[in-house]
Amino acid sequence: MIDNKIEFLVSEKYLSFAKKDKRLLPEPIKFNIPDWFKDLKHGVVEKSLKGCVPFLDAITSGYLLKMPVDYYFEHNVVREGERTTFWYGSLTDVARIDIFDNVNINKESFEYHPIKQLGNKCPLVHKNVDLPVHKVSNPWFIKTPPGYSCLFVPPLNNTDDRFSIISGIVDTDTFENEINFPFIINGDKYPTLKTTIRIGTPYVQVIPFKRDNWKMSLNSVEHKKTESNKANYFSKNILNRYKSMWWSKKSWK
């Protein structure tokens, strides 16, 4: 089986620095399985979510982008008489400032989408307490083989409870630029929030996929299990039935 290749590209100076501070490097997201999941016990007597292979597939598929600097922000605060989000990326030492000088990251200025771009009925606007949607500037160019795109989502089943990116798909085989990620604050839990998203915080799951055309159909089916099929179904490895009978192993390196 041939491995497809996804490339994360950046300047030589930044890459050299990031290899010394691995919090900056993209990596297979399988290395980011949450401790609470690892600590679960799963057995015949007491089953748990740890035995759910579809859940595990979701949290281990694709690659992980992490915050390239410390991002401090105050969300839904009043400054000069107006509600606003105050935000900056923290570059704390001369060496890092030099290395990040021409790299696409949040510094003193930042990008955002005015809420009028989303319309007044978009639930994301209301969750963000009707304030502009800010963007994380991502330093990495992402390149996939011809015919392959990338789905960008918050880390599946493992999202930071303070914020999440707005999901999107980019044709990364033809788009030759960095991809910046708009994000919203979890205003349902944090109507106001003063916090720092630390460097290395997971924030984007990257799932490459091959573009295909699809056509749906609606049909009826008589689903009948013979007695032998039923016996076979219920006797096969009761603890890991889905994994042993239907699951296909995925590889992310």
Whether pLDDT at 247 is above 90: no
Flag the least confident range among 107-121, 170-184, 213-227, 230-244.
Answer: 230-244
Whether pLDDT at 160 is above 70: yes
Residue 108: predicted pLDDT: 64
Torsion on CA atoms 168, 87, 29, 211, rounded to nearest 10: 10
Percent pLDDT > 70 in the chain is: 88
Per the CB < 8 A criterion, the answer to whether 158 and 32 are in contact is yes
Per the CB < 8 A criterion, the answer to whether 155 and 33 are in contact is no
Residue 221: predicted pLDDT: 81
Could you report the per-residue pLDDT of 65-81, keeping only the tens digit for each? Answer: 999 888 888 999 998 88
Burial of 68 (0-12, 13-18, 19+ CB in 10 A): buried
Is pTM, for the whole model, over 0.85? yes
Could you tell me which residue, 113 or 7, shows the higher pLDDT?
7
Residue 249: predicted pLDDT: 86
- Highest-pLDDT range among 38-42, 93-97, 112-116, 138-142: 138-142
Angle 210-27-213 from CA coordinates, rounded to 5°: 10
Q: Indicate the average pLDDT of the chain.
A: 87
Per the CB < 8 A criterion, the answer to whether 50 and 37 are in contact is yes
DSSP labels for the chain?
-PPP--EEE--HHHHHHHHHSGGGS-EEGGGG--HHHHT----SSS--GGG-HHHHHHHHSSEEEE-SSEEEEEEEEEETTEEEEEEEEE--SHHHHHHTTTS-S-SSS--EE-GGGT-TT-HHHHHTTT--EEEEPP--EEE--TTEEEEEESPTT---SSEEEPPEEE-TTT--SB--EEEEE-TTT-SSEEEEE-TT-EEEEEEEEE----------------HHHHHHHHHS-TTSHHHHHT-------
Per the CB < 8 A criterion, the answer to whether 143 and 208 are in contact is no
Give the pLDDT band (50/70/90) at residue 13.
confident
Could you report the per-residue pLDDT of 118-150, keeping only the tens digit for each? Answer: 888 999 999 999 999 999 999 999 999 999 999
Q: Which residues lie across from 207 on neighbouring strands?
A: 151
Give the pLDDT band (50/70/90) at residue 232.
low
Residue 25's φ and ψ, nearest 5 degrees, are: -85, 135
Length, in residues, of the chain: 253
Could you tell me which residue, 109 or 105, shows the higher pLDDT?
105
